[in-house]
Amino acid sequence: MTRSSSTKRRSSAAAVVGLALALAASGPARSATPVSDAITPELQRVRQALDKYRDPIRAVHDGYFSTVGCVEYPTPGAAGQVPYPAGGMGVHFFNVSLMGKLDPLQPQVLVYEPAGGKLRLVAAEYFVPLGPDVKEPPRIFGRAFDGPMVGHHPLMPHELTHYDLHVWLWKKNPAGLFAPTNPAVKCPDSPYTFKETAPALVPPK
């Protein structure tokens, strides 16, 4: 072996050792934080109470009815719109009997993602229509609601102006636990998938 070859091999070995030491110093790679690690004890209790609705038939029995369509927002909200990140929402199940209430254990909407031939519960949504008694954004879990906004056409009339707040209790959301959309939620290629634009904000009166 020539001196040049020996020197090259020693240099390569030193580089490998140096890389290994650098990786060891940086510690193990961090995995995505599970949903259970991202929520407060209060939200854990809410999720546990609502776990029964993982079965969408149970949700129907309790007054939650499907809007049928699976909703996606391919582009972020623009000026004058709710600042949605691009992403999916899923299929909404509304319980109109809960409108006008603000109870953590009784969300007005349950959100499901179609996956593997099933509907998988991914989020709860709290929904407050605008009215004479709603003069500022409602709050729950220490968070202000998004809005006010027009209704989400075509599955909702524009005239149903409201505030809402999503809480992704059953599916990790890279955009945030309370973000309105989730880039990890996907809708199937179907006539009942609606690629919407972010709803317009309602100007203050």
- Asked if residue 202 belongs to a domain, the reply is no
- Asked if residue 188 belongs to a domain, the reply is yes
On whether both 44 and 110 belong to a single domain, the answer is: yes
- Asked if residue 66 belongs to a domain, the reply is yes
On whether both 143 and 186 belong to a single domain, the answer is: yes
On whether both 68 and 10 belong to a single domain, the answer is: no
**Structure tokens, 89:** 């929402």
On whether both 139 and 191 belong to a single domain, the answer is: yes
- How far is 140 from 39, CA to CA, in rounded Å? 14
Digit-coded pLDDT (tens) for 5-53: 444 344 433 333 333 333 233 333 333 334 544 689 999 999 999 999 9
Residue 86's alpha-carbon distances to 64, 98, 115, 182, 185, in angstroms, are: 26, 29, 20, 8, 11
On whether both 69 and 160 belong to a single domain, the answer is: yes
Residue 71's domain spans which residues? Answer: 35-195
On whether both 7 and 93 belong to a single domain, the answer is: no
Q: What is the pLDDT of residue 39?
A: 86
- Asked if residue 203 belongs to a domain, the reply is no
Mean pLDDT value across the chain: 85
Q: What is the pLDDT of residue 135?
A: 84
Q: Does 27 or 149 have the greater pLDDT score?
A: 149
- Over range 120-125, report the average pLDDT: 98
- Asked if residue 200 belongs to a domain, the reply is no
Residue 120 β-bridge partners:
113
Q: What is the pLDDT of residue 184?
A: 97
Please give the backbone phi and psi of residue 139, each rounded to the nearest 5 degrees, phi first: -135, 145
On whether both 24 and 109 belong to a single domain, the answer is: no
- How far is 93 from 106, CA to CA, in rounded Å? 13
Q: What is the pLDDT of residue 35?
A: 54
On whether both 10 and 89 belong to a single domain, the answer is: no
On whether both 161 and 191 belong to a single domain, the answer is: yes
- Asked if residue 85 belongs to a domain, the reply is yes
On whether both 42 and 116 belong to a single domain, the answer is: yes
On whether both 101 and 182 belong to a single domain, the answer is: yes
> Structural domain tally of the chain?
2
Q: Is the dihedral of CA 20, 21, 26, 31 positive or negative?
A: positive
Q: What is the pLDDT of residue 204?
A: 74
Digit-coded pLDDT (tens) for 55-106: 999 999 999 999 999 999 999 999 999 999 999 999 999 999 999 999 999 9
Q: Which residue has the tokens 């996606």?
A: 72
- Asked if residue 205 belongs to a domain, the reply is no
On whether both 25 and 39 belong to a single domain, the answer is: no
- Asked if residue 204 belongs to a domain, the reply is no
pTM: 0.81
